[in-house]
Chain A
């Protein structure tokens, strides 16, 4: 596991000079602030999109009736509910400065709404492009589509809500990766601080 690498890092860090140590700590602190800022702005974005999504759910309730869009419609049988949006993770590395190598987990979500190949147009920013490219997978028109729980003829607002929450899932995976990287930075700073305080005691 990535999380078990701390001890060897401590040994490696013993060899660096005090100046190097301070430089590394500076770089890590900057990276930490940068990632904290990213986490906050991403969660604010998630909040905005979720508000949009719940607004659409409210619209659907208005059209279909009070309790027609609630947990009551969620199936209680195994056959009625199979996850079509799945996740995965892989180990990633990021170099900070020349010698700092951070290892963290990169999470990905594969939504039921298929995402077009975005290599054709690389002008748009990654996640924004994925969100704008969201298209309903033809497989989703089958019985596995959660929209079916709410009836055959569902209002457009419910379809919109599905699309928005599908996009939020992509953001959630992105945010989990950033948090994993932040966790790695915090761990590394802890180790270097430990080495620094040990030196100062000597």
Chain B
């Protein structure tokens, strides 16, 4: 721990909600954590169930749980998964944990769907773009 500057000592987790490859990749990167109650900081979205109503509810619950946890700083979520629970993500206005929408191998990044970019674009009226 002495490698880090005192003002920025690490200690919080990153959470991930995404497809199998994304989760396996990031867990391989070392972000995975299981606590003593076997509560994990990752949620794998099963492609075969997607996007059934039950699955959407599960995704929403996973997201809400990560938001409530005070040991999570950043929530990474695949953009196509974020799209399914867009209303929940748009309601999250607190800066911590930060929610970062990331692309996946099957779904390329689409800036027009990104919550923050849509909010930034929404500040300007059609008149402003003329």
A binds B: yes
B11–A86 touching, CB < 8 Å: yes
B33–A57 touching, CB < 8 Å: no
Is B31 engaged at the interface, CB distance under 8 Å to the other chain? Answer: yes
Whole-angstrom distance between the alpha carbons of A39 and B123 in the complex?
17
| Minimum distance in angstroms from A140 CB to a CB of chain B | 8
Give the contact stretch, choosing among A10-18, A93-101, A119-127, A159-167. Answer: A159-167
Size range of the interface on B? 35 or more
B98–A47 touching, CB < 8 Å: no
CB-based nearest A residue for B93: A3
Whole-angstrom distance between the alpha carbons of A95 and B19 in the complex?
39
Given known contacts A1-B95, A43-B109, A88-B9, A78 and B14 CB-to-CB distance under 8 angstroms: no
A74–B10 touching, CB < 8 Å: no
Residues of B within 8 A of A77 (CB): 34, 38
Residues of A within 8 A of B44 (CB): 71
Whole-angstrom distance between the alpha carbons of A78 and B32 in the complex?
10
A3–B102 touching, CB < 8 Å: no
CB-based nearest A residue for B121: A36
A44–B109 touching, CB < 8 Å: yes
A interface list, Cβ under 8 A from B: 1-3, 32, 35-36, 39-40, 43-44, 46-47, 50-51, 53-54, 57, 69-71, 74-78, 80-90, 105, 107-114, 140, 146-147, 158, 161-162, 164-166, 168-169, 172-173, 175-176, 179-180, 182-183, 185-186, 189-190, 193
Known: A36-B117, A43-B114, A189-B123. 19 other contacts (CB 8 A): A43-B111, A51-B105, A54-B105, A57-B21, A57-B25, A74-B27, A76-B34, A77-B34, A82-B34, A83-B13, A85-B14, A87-B73, A105-B96, A146-B27, A165-B26, A166-B29, A168-B29, A176-B74, A186-B123
